[in-house]
A = this chain, B = another copy of it.
Amino acid sequence: MSGTPTFKRLPRAVREQQMLDAAVRVFSRRGFHAASMDEIAEAAGISKPMVYAYLGTKEELFVACLHREGTRLMAAIAGAAAPDLPADERLWRGLRAFFTFVGAHRDGWAVLYRQARGERPFAAEVATMRGRLVEVVAGMLDHALRARGREVGGTDLEVVAYALVGASESLADWLADHPEADPEKTATRMMNVAWLGADQLLRGVTWRPPEA
């Protein structure tokens, strides 16, 4: 029987990556629960027991996806935003790397941001990653503040950083749904909002609620 000449045999490392690719694609569209292991196996061009043999249960497979995509994303950002640059330059490079990455890995982004957030066992994983990002941004702001001889409460700083990260994520999500949009231009827009606001804050300008 040589109708379909039984696909080539491949070394484990290669197959694992193929499986992860397929899993990310399927998870991104269907979500964790609605995705079936059969569909993932088929998308990977392999049979189901192979997936179990190499990557473990469905949950472990999802975590593996999360780790791979998350690590790649963080590496892209960290690689771009060298710590010895001035704050605005660092922010700019980080943002550009971020949006470029999302533009080039829409599925991975969808898994990280849309699917993993709500599902009980995975949310913590993502939260930790975001936490590291927030810390970096907050550290950047703090550094810039001290350079200007000013100081701001830790929580305030953290919350501002959180807002900036959130805005970026949100724009990234917009980008993921608009394939025609330019990542670099999106990064510029984000930079406009983020930096102009942050810059004001750094100068000591603040807004206060009306007394009424």
Contact = CB atoms under 8 A, between A and B. Distances in A.
A155 to B, nearest CB: 9
A188 B209 contact: yes
How many chain A residues sit at the interface, stated as a range, is: 35 or more
B114 A117 contact: yes
Given A164-B167, A166-B167, A193 B201 contact: yes
Interface stretch (A4-12, A18-26, A28-36, A68-76): A28-36
Nearest to A170: B166
A155 B33 CA distance: 35
Interface string A176-193: 000000001010111111
A189 B170 CA distance: 18
A194 B201 CA distance: 11
Interface string A125-164: 0000000000000000000000000000000100110111
A46 interface: no
A193 B210 contact: no
A35 to B, nearest CB: 10
Nearest to A188: B209
A2 interface: no
